[in-house]
Amino acid sequence: MANSQGKAYVFGSPADITLYPSTSTTVSIFTGIISSTANDGFDISHECDTEEVKNTNGEVVGSIVSNNRLSLTVNCIPSGSTAANALLTAFLADGNGTATIGGAKTITCGGIDDAVNTSTSGRWIYTGGGSVKFTNSGKAMVTLPLKKYPTATLMPGVSIVL
């Protein structure tokens, strides 16, 4: 395990992930591991649409912000009780599936406390664009782009646990 002198640093965030299609909240199509020894982790970002308001001289005098959202890209290893079962989980959901995440480190993003874990901040939506990477020299890796709209009401669908 890594250690440091002087300041303390944050390393990765272990979690488990389960993905469900848009048609089910109980039958999973993907399980994976995000751990300190078996992942590339995840990236979270805050996004919003911004429109500048200009006066008659063309100078910006205001800003309008809408569509607050969080984006999360999860990189994880498909897992199962056997290698064959793990291969079955290297599967991507249809668009608009939802996800629940639990066990990740608690962070605040875009003004949302505990933004990654869904028990306190709501479900994630799988928006398509995921990928599965196979190599001859290492583990398979699944990349899942997810979005969360903090002002939207809870949507039905898929579950991811990180």
pLDDT of residue 108: 86
Regarding predicted confidence, which is higher, 36 or 85?
85
The answer, yes or no, to whether residue 2 has pLDDT greater than 80, is: no
Q: CB-based contacts of 93: which residues, under 8 Å, 6+ apart? A: 19, 20, 21, 22, 29, 30, 126, 130, 158
Q: Which residue carries 């406390």 as its tokens?
A: 113
User: Which is nearest to 135 in space by CA: 74, 73, 77?
Assistant: 77
pLDDT tens figures, 49-86: 999 999 999 999 999 999 889 999 888 777 777 878 77
pLDDT tens figures, 109-161: 888 888 888 777 778 888 889 888 888 877 788 888 999 887 765 544 444 44
pLDDT of residue 142: 82
pLDDT of residue 36: 42
Q: Fill in the amino acid letter for 90.
A: A
Give this prediction's pTM.
0.72
pLDDT tens figures, 22-31: 676 666 656 5
pLDDT of residue 80: 73
Structure tokens that stand for 7 in this block: 């300041």
pLDDT of residue 35: 47
pLDDT of residue 101: 80
